[in-house]
Amino acid sequence: MLKHRGFPGRLPGTDFQFVIRRGNAKGPTKLIARERYRDRSAVDRRADLVFLACLWDYFGEEPFERGNLDGGRLSWLFGREVIPATDEFDPESYEALLKIDVAKAQVSFPEAFET
């Protein structure tokens, strides 16, 4: 499992983690597109925004390996702002390649792209 050195570990002041320390013995958490309902708490929405901003700062438009990025946190963005980078995508692989769909991400989280 690739460890993304220098990537923030969590949303400061919360228990929302962005990376995992070690691989799961049962294998990686399967990436799924989680439904984001309008009544999600402000801190949940903030975690999505900050995580996407971190992805943008760290990877930009380039494809990236899932590695030690938290599968649960990725699933809140998966299928919308974060999409598979290859046709042979395995949602249960640490080596799976992902990329940011910049157009959708800028519509959903314009603050993530402000410098």
State the pLDDT confidence band at 25, using cuts at 50, 70 and 90. Answer: low
What is the per-residue pLDDT across 37-79, written as a single tens digit (0 to 9) for each? 988 999 999 999 999 999 999 999 999 999 999 999 999 999 9
Counting every residue written for the chain, the total comes to: 115
- pLDDT above 70: residue 27: yes
Q: What is the dihedral of CA 40, 41, 42, 46, to 10 degrees?
A: -70
Q: Give domain limits for the chain.
A: 42-113
CA distances from 35 to 67, 80, 96, 107 (A): 23, 10, 22, 17
What is the pTM for the complete model shown? 0.90
Share of the chain above pLDDT 70, in %: 97
Q: How buried is residue 113: exposed, middle or buried, by Cβ count under 10 Å (0-12/13-18/19+)?
A: middle
Three-state DSSP class for 98? strand
